[in-house]
Amino acid sequence: MRFSIYRFNPDVDLEPYMQDYEVALQPEDRMLLDALLRIKTMDDTLSMRKSCREGVCGSDAMNINGKNGLACVTKLSSLSEPVVVRPMPGLPVVRDLVVDMTQFFENYNSVKPYLVNHDPVPETERLQSPEQRAKLDGLYECILCGACTTSCPSFWWNPDKFVGPAGLLQAYRFMADSRDQVLDERLDNLEDPFRLYKCHNIMNCVDVCPKGLSPAKAISKIKELKMKGLKSGGFKAPASATPLAGKQISIKRVP
Amino acid sequence: MVNLPSRAVAGAKHHGSYEWLLQRFTAAIMAIYTLGMISLLMIRQPDGYSEWVAITDNNTWRFGTLLTLLSLFVHAWQGVLDILNDYIKPLALRKALKFATALALVCYAVWSVFILWKL
Amino acid sequence: MSTGIAMPYHQRPKNLDLASIRLPVPALVSILHRASGALIFLLLPVLLWALQQSTEAGGYAGLVNMMDSTWIKPPLLVLIWAFIHHFLAGIRHLTLDMRFGLEIRQARRSSKLVLVAGLVLTLLAGIWLW
């Protein structure tokens, strides 16, 4: 099977380039990741991230024949040759298919992706009714692989200003949670021309999500909550410009 | 009380929701006007200057058209801003183009009044 | 060629070779929405000038003459397409905002509809005008 793979080694290369491989696959090689690992036995300089190899850890997202997806759950039989494998678009390339996810996680952190509840901690769990719990379906399953966010042109052009589909899906996941108590603050957190409203509904995110989730729906729900906020007293003007939330927990870049 | 940050882009002065809503509101005005004008033209089939004047020489048409043109300019401002923010990365150039756009649109608005009332 | 020094992070390449990235139809409709809007914006002075001409007998006759000339037809059809596409894609936007058609299959279908309807209506407008 023929492959054309994006190569870049910052210690050696000034520019990335495409390298062709012709591989004799073994019967057990079913998914793209199997083929990439087979190539790696021929050329051990090829770099990629991988871990669980079953679509749960979200490590091996890449651009496959132009579409983002997880190599470990992409069937080789579904791909036309030569299979063009490139790193996820819009993030700095560390090496070959490995991208620097720092910006992605900073945007994720900036929506405070955790429950905020001021009530005293109960002896047992904070309970939810089955209906309340059902509201989190289609939101909590995200594995943060980055396929959606890096397929979004709005993220490509404004990676540091637009939160991106993955981060906004998580923002809504906590807005929708009956145990969370800071809905208004969460909505204010997105009151900005870029953070939420750079989404123009092209739905590339839904197109590529390996878990079949819909950030587009979550984003439109957030916009709906925003409009409800308008009816009941208007959009809150931020009291003052505070530093980026992600800054407090940002991952430092290795120089 | 845990305070979420009120915004992530430090120092930014703008809202987002008002602009988003305004873009849709102005679009609705233009859509209504467009459909109205197309139906009017299809019904009246103006053939010649005098029939065109019969449609346009009244204040209802003038104010409706002015409202639509102003909506168009506001709508265009948001749209061009969106494009410049995405594709023009050098700050000085982006600011210059935003200024030129704003200036042009204000001139168009004044010009529109002159056109409609034949000043 | 070996530089012997690791490339600094801020100089690292990004994979943004747009020709290598698949463009789904809803994304195509969106970029055309943007392009058509930009075109209309750039042609605003021409449109206002035409409106001004139409308010005087001489100018009106001039515009009518212009409409009959051959050279005006291709650019005018492009402008009409830009307007119709922007209009239809805008209506689609509003329906999505009202949370209709947010399923990916519906979104693909409605974007194809906008694309095709824009071209068909442009053709019809051309037939109606000439």
Query: HSE (CB half, 13 Å, CA atoms) of C64?
Result: 13
Q: B82 lies in which domain range?
A: 18-116
Q: A88 lies in which domain range?
A: 2-99
Gap between the terminal Cα atoms of chain B = 61
Global ipTM: 0.90
> Which residues 6+ apart lie within 8 Å of A226 measured at CB?
A187, A190, A191, A196, A235, B17, B20
Q: How many domains does chain A have?
A: 2
CATH number of the structural domain spanning residue A130 = 1.10.1060.10
| Domain contains A255 | no
Q: How many domains does chain B have?
A: 1
Instruction: Tell whether A78 and A91 lie within a shared domain.
Output: yes
Distance between CA atoms of B57 and B49, rounded to whole angstroms? 11
Contact check, Cβ <8 Å, B79/C57? no
- Closest by Cβ to C48, choosing from B52, B79, B108: B108
| Domain contains B1 | no
- Residue C110, SS3 per DSSP: helix
Instruction: Tell whether A234 and A161 lie within a shared domain.
Output: yes
Residue with tokens 């650019």: C75
Q: Where are the domains of chain C?
A: 30-40+71-129
| Domain contains A202 | yes
CATH number of the structural domain spanning residue B80 = 1.20.1300.10
**How large is the average pLDDT for residues C83-109?**
96
Average pLDDT, chain C: 93
| Domain contains B71 | yes
If one counts every other C-beta atom within 10 angstroms of the C-beta of residue A72, the result is 24
Helix C104-129 / helix C73-97 crossing angle, nearest 10 deg: 150
Residue B42 vs residue A246, higher pLDDT: B42
Convert the pLDDT of each residue in B77-117 to its tens digit.
999 999 999 999 999 999 999 999 999 999 999 999 999 99
- Report percent pLDDT > 90 for chain A: 88
Instruction: Tell whether A112 and A91 lie within a shared domain.
Output: no
Average pLDDT, chain A: 92
| Domain contains A84 | yes
Residue C11 vs residue A74, higher pLDDT: A74
- Closest by Cβ to A201, choosing from C6, C31, C96: C96
Boundary (domain end) residue, out of A49, A65, A99: A99
Residue with tokens 């042609």: C43
Contact between residue A141 and residue A209 where contact means Cβ atoms under 8 Å apart? no
Q: Which amino acid is at A66?
A: G
CA quadruple A136, A141, A143, A145: dihedral, nearest 10: -90
Distance between CA atoms of C96 and C89, rounded to whole angstroms? 10
Instruction: Spell out which residues of chain A touch residue B83, defining contact as CB-CB under 8 Å.
Output: none
- Report percent pLDDT > 90 for chain B: 81
Instruction: Spell out which residues of chain A touch residue B4, defining contact as CB-CB under 8 Å.
Output: 112, 116, 182, 185-186, 188-189, 245
The CA-atom distances, in angstroms, between B61 and each of B43, B53, C87 are 16, 11, 21
CATH number of the structural domain spanning residue A34 = 3.10.20.30
Instruction: Tell whether A169 and A94 lie within a shared domain.
Output: no
Boundary (domain end) residue, out of A99, A117, A132: A99
Per-residue model confidence (pLDDT) at position A244: 38
Q: Which of B23, B52, B119 to mutate to test the interface with C (most CBs of C within 10 A)?
A: B52
| Domain contains B43 | yes
Convert the pLDDT of each residue in A90-135 to its tens digit.
999 999 999 999 999 999 999 999 999 999 999 999 999 999 999 9
Which positions 64-103 of B are in contact with C (Cβ < 8 Å)?
A: 72, 76, 79-80, 82-83
| Domain contains A203 | yes
Residue B7 vs residue C101, higher pLDDT: C101
